[in-house]
Structure 1
Amino acid sequence: MSEFGIVAPVARIGLARLLAIVAEKDDERIPRDGICLEMLGAQLTVVKEQILENDRLIRASARDTEVGQRLMEIPGVGPLLARAFVASVADPQVFKTCRDLAAWIGLVPRQNSSGGKERLGGISRAGNQYLRQMVVVGAMAVIRHAERRGTKRVWLIELMKRRATKVAAVALANKTARMVWTMMTSGEHYREPQVAHA
């Protein structure tokens, strides 16, 4: 459409503007002969409806289980991630500790230890790649929200000061995975961490 001098911002809002122009039959900026824009617009509308229906089904599925409802209380855990945890970790007791679950997802440091000296590297990336990506994306959303609006979580504020954004997101993802294991095994609800007073 830019060939005809019609441009719009990137993302959903811009696309919606372009589709509205295509749908307008009286708009003379777009030649109507031999152009497939109307067909592409119709296809995009169908895909959008399918995505919205899938989102609705995922949200409903996550809310169907008591565990899924509790997991969605954790910042950075939405319906999709809660449903993924419920489906992937049918029995959280399989993992002895919360660290074991984080390791299974691939969110713990790789160990390069020898001669009694412990050396920790980047995350291992072993395990469930899908869950790892989803937890890190959720952690990035929490960090972006904290950067824009601030947060009362002192641990996160300090971490964001010391580390690069992506490193902080992986650390937060590790913490989130550990919270998920604790909540799945204990049956507790999410509680915001309290600041220790000296």
Structure 2
Amino acid sequence: MKYFAGLDVSLEQTSVCIVDAGGTVVREMKTASEAAALRTVLENYVEHLERIGLEAGPLSQHFYSELVEAGLPAICVEARHMAQALRAQTLNKTDRNDARGIAQMMRAGLFKVVHVKTERSQRLNVLLRTRKVLKSKLLDVEADLRGVLKNFGLKVGKVTPRSFEARVRELAAFDPFIAAVVEPVLAARPAMREQYDRLHAMLLQVVRHDPVCQRLMTMPGVGAVVALTYRVAIDVPTRFTKSRTVGAHVGLTPRRYQSGEVDWTGRISKAGDPLLRTSLYEAAQVLLTRVARSSPLRSWAMRLAKRRGRKKAVVALARKIGVILHRMCVDGTDFRWEAMTV
């Protein structure tokens, strides 16, 4: 007898439902959202379990890895796809019903598998996101200080990172109270800057010893941050059968709706990893505005900008960069500056 399990994972508890090949519920229960507790429940049916489904989420990577390591046939499924399937049920939205619906989808084979990143990529992803958080907070602090002084008609103007604090203290000296208020913020800023520089140095060290990142950086506009972001997000290049599908995976392809006589194309979908999409967009901006050396890729983008506008050209170029980088990963080749002749 084949069994199929569905897990509806939440922070504290996980609803578990196991059904047989005919769709009859074999067991339903709630257990703690801990890998050991889930293994204890599912290992009793390990000889009969065909598939175990759990939606992609914050705890999914950990649970998936633990279940697979224990020899259980776990599958991480796309959350939005599963949500649409569960919404079609004529049942109330509860954890129990969601687990039951996931189990039935596992039995029917109506699910979309999500790639779970390798352990190395998960670790590097922590570095990228932590660095991004610190950078964002640093920019927020500086923007807030500029806004505070602007309320009193004082403009910081163009300054370097080193001269920023001295300039703010100089402007805030007009009022002892304002000077006292901004001083703690200015005192915290160097510590944030120091830790950000530390994380950035770690990132550069990783890229320096990663041959794939070094290869990706031969593409104009692609620096260390973009290369590592792409490396981590794509993770295993061979999971894409065609390089052009990377554009849709990142969310840089237009939406399309077609039904009967209605057929329209909208803006880009913005699906997938937003950090990678932003990085590719920045690489495209750099290639168009800062890279002086001519290349067929840049010439193509410039011609497109004249026909369709600069914004659309940058998005199209970002999509093409993502596709080319994937092909570079698969083929193991550097970027080719000159057009190939046949």
TM-score above 0.5, yes or no: yes
Query: Aligned residue for 2:288?
Result: 143
Trace 1:112-123 onto structure 2 (pairs within 5 A). 112-113=257-258, 120-123=265-268
Deviation at 1:52, TM superposition (A): 1.7
TM-score (normalizing by structure 1): 0.78
The aligned length equals 191
- Which stretch shifts more, 176-185 or 28-37? 28-37
Query: Aligned residue for 1:55?
Result: 200
Residue 125 in structure 1 maps to residue 270 in structure 2: yes
SS class of match (1:35): helix
Amino acid at match of 1:38: E
Amino acid at match of 1:20: A
TM-score (normalizing by structure 2): 0.48
Residues 12-70 of structure 1, C-alpha deviations (whole Å, 9 max, x = no match): 53x6445125678xx99455577143332221111122222222111221222100111
One of 164, 179, 195 as aligned partner of 2:324: 179
One of 185, 188, 195 as aligned partner of 2:333: 188
Gaps of at least 5 residues in structure 2 are 1-148
Query: Aligned residue for 1:20?
Result: 166
Deviation at 1:186, TM superposition (A): 0.4
Q: Tell me, in whole angstroms, the C-alpha distance in 2 between the residues paired with 1:21 and 1:47.
A: 18
SS class of match (1:110): strand
In proportion to residue count, which structure has more strand?
2
CA contact (8 A) 1:4 1:29 kept: no
Query: Aligned residue for 1:96?
Result: 241
One of 169, 172, 186 as aligned partner of 1:41: 186
Residue 168 in structure 1 maps to residue 316 in structure 2: no
Q: Tell me, in whole angstroms, the C-alpha distance in 2 between the residues paired with 1:150 and 1:61.
A: 28
Query: Aligned residue for 2:216?
Result: 71
Q: CA RMSD in A?
A: 3.3
SS class of match (2:290): helix
Query: Aligned residue for 1:110?
Result: 255
Amino acid at match of 1:7: K
SS class of match (1:137): helix
Deviation at 1:97, TM superposition (A): 0.7
Q: Tell me, in whole angstroms, the C-alpha distance in 1 between the residues paired with 2:252 and 2:152.
A: 49
Amino acid at match of 1:126: A
Cα distance change, pair 110–32 in 1 and its aligned pair in 2 (3 A):
closer
Cα distance change, pair 130–185 in 1 and its aligned pair in 2 (3 A):
same
Deviation at 1:2, TM superposition (A): 5.7
Deviation at 1:135, TM superposition (A): 0.9
Of structures 1 and 2, the one scoring higher in RCO (CA 8 A, sep 6+) is 1
SS class of match (1:122): strand
Deviation at 1:133, TM superposition (A): 1.8
Q: Percent identity?
A: 28
CA contact (8 A) 2:288 2:302 kept: no
Higher Cα radius of gyration: 2
SS class of match (1:130): helix
Q: Tell me, in whole angstroms, the C-alpha distance in 2 between the residues paired with 1:81 and 1:177.
A: 11
One of 221, 229, 232 as aligned partner of 1:84: 229
In proportion to residue count, which structure has more helix?
1
